[in-house]
Amino acid sequence: MGPGDLTILTSGAADVVPEDALAAKLALGRPLRVKLGLDPTAPAVTLGWAVVLRKLRQFQDAGHTAVLIVGDFTARVGDPSGRSETRRRLTKDEVDGYTETLLDQFRLVLSEERLEIRRNSEWLEPMDMEDILGLTAAYTVARMLERDDFAKRYEAGKPISIMEFIYPLLQGYDSVAVEADVELGGTDQLFNLLVGRELQRDRGQDPQLALTMPLLEGLDGVQKMSQSLGNYVGVNEHGDEQFGKLMSIPDGLIAKYLRLCTPVGAGEVDAIEAGLANGSLHPNGEKRRMARGIVDLYHGPGSGAEAESRFDQVHKQHELPDDVPELPIPADAIRDGKAWLPRVLVGTGLASSNGEARRAVQQGGVRLDGVPLADPEAEFDPAALRGKVLQVGRRRFVRLR
């Protein structure tokens, strides 16, 4: 493997620790085991997750083995990374449900070749108290408090549970279990990745390299992309939805989205960034290019241009799309002879859950024949809904029948 491969594999990375370790790992002359752990705590793979998944794909394309760990056990513990308070614990049923919806989405980014998918319940669930105590003996409280998020909470007098201290040890033990050569993550995961190095060293393994990728801000341009905040784009969302959401990002994020979410080369992104800064390039044109590129990536060449055309049809010409799907009012949305709005939205695919449907209404994003709906618990006579167009956001439409 030549220096060009090293450049590709480290391109866009925020941290490579130790700095010269990847060259030494590549010099081993064998496929490396490159680990990425993702906890199934929500139902969608977002563009934020895809940043590190696409880096994992680069390692696959270079001939290495992607070891994707679905953190079905650690998700029940709760990753404290970047949290200002203790995360709500998820049940096993919740985690299993999310896992099933995520696996196909992972494959939209990763190759089936050189892919190993593991669940960390495989080795963490069988642990007994002696195993856990042995794990906790490998790290001190003082070292844990070196974590920025823990340190801030400690200084502010906010509670930190012992379970949260255990989480980095469990993630680190994943690296021991799969004998990782490299672990990938976002910049907020660097501490956890370094814990993995220590546990591997403690157990006689050659410590893994830690490689982190920048975090991607969501559509609000401020907070990290997150499903709980609703500021995300999902990799399996309809191309029209992706395009429309991407057109809403702040202009200042165009270059970052191009760099982290599209195949556009670093040099070309640098030139675009410079052009946007000096005014020689118009933000709208480059934002459209970015949005087309992302839609093409997940829906095939030409999909981006088609989504752009439909976007303009709705937003510039104020017309309904030609292909508004017609769907019946879902039977399970009708109770006592009335159609309950949240279930109508879920049953027609305009929302993924009752909670998301309510939030969309409360935020003014739901219209019926162009009229905004204000009551998230609204009920309608089914006959009054038939033939009308239900709309969520600016891009999703269903004609009820």
Distance CA 376, CA 342 (A): 7
Distance CA 291, CA 298 (A): 11
The whole-number pLDDT of residue 3 equals 45
The whole-number pLDDT of residue 362 equals 79
The whole-number pLDDT of residue 302 equals 96
pTM exceeds 0.85, yes or no: no
Q: How many folded domains does the chain comprise?
A: 3
**Same domain as 192, residue 93:** yes
Question: Tell me, what CATH number does 311's domain have?
Answer: 1.10.240.10
**Same domain as 246, residue 186:** no
Last residue of a domain, one of 158, 178, 213: 213
Last residue of a domain, one of 288, 315, 342: 315
**Same domain as 197, residue 67:** yes
Residues contacting 131, CB < 8 A, separation 6+: none
Tens of pLDDT, residue by residue, the chain (401 residues): 444 588 889 999 999 999 999 999 999 999 999 999 999 988 899 999 999 999 999 999 999 999 999 999 999 887 776 555 555 678 888 998 899 889 999 999 999 999 999 999 999 999 999 999 999 988 888 888 888 888 888 888 888 888 888 999 999 999 999 999 999 999 999 999 999 999 999 999 999 999 999 999 998 898 999 887 888 999 998 898 899 889 989 999 999 999 999 999 999 999 999 999 999 999 999 999 999 999 999 999 999 999 998 888 876 655 566 667 888 888 888 877 788 888 888 888 888 888 888 888 877 778 887 667 777 888 887 777 777 788 887 677 878 87
**Same domain as 273, residue 170:** no
Residue 232 included in any domain: no
Residue 226 included in any domain: no
Distance CA 378, CA 361 (A): 10
Q: What angle do CA 124, 126, 130 make, to 5 degrees?
A: 90
Residue 228 included in any domain: no
**Same domain as 284, residue 255:** yes
Question: Tell me, what CATH number does 174's domain have?
Answer: 3.40.50.620
Could you tell me the residue range of the domain that residue 380 belongs to?
326-400
Question: Tell me, what CATH number does 396's domain have?
Answer: 3.10.290.10
**Same domain as 86, residue 203:** yes
The whole-number pLDDT of residue 228 equals 79
Radius of gyration of the chain (CA): 23
**Same domain as 356, residue 251:** no
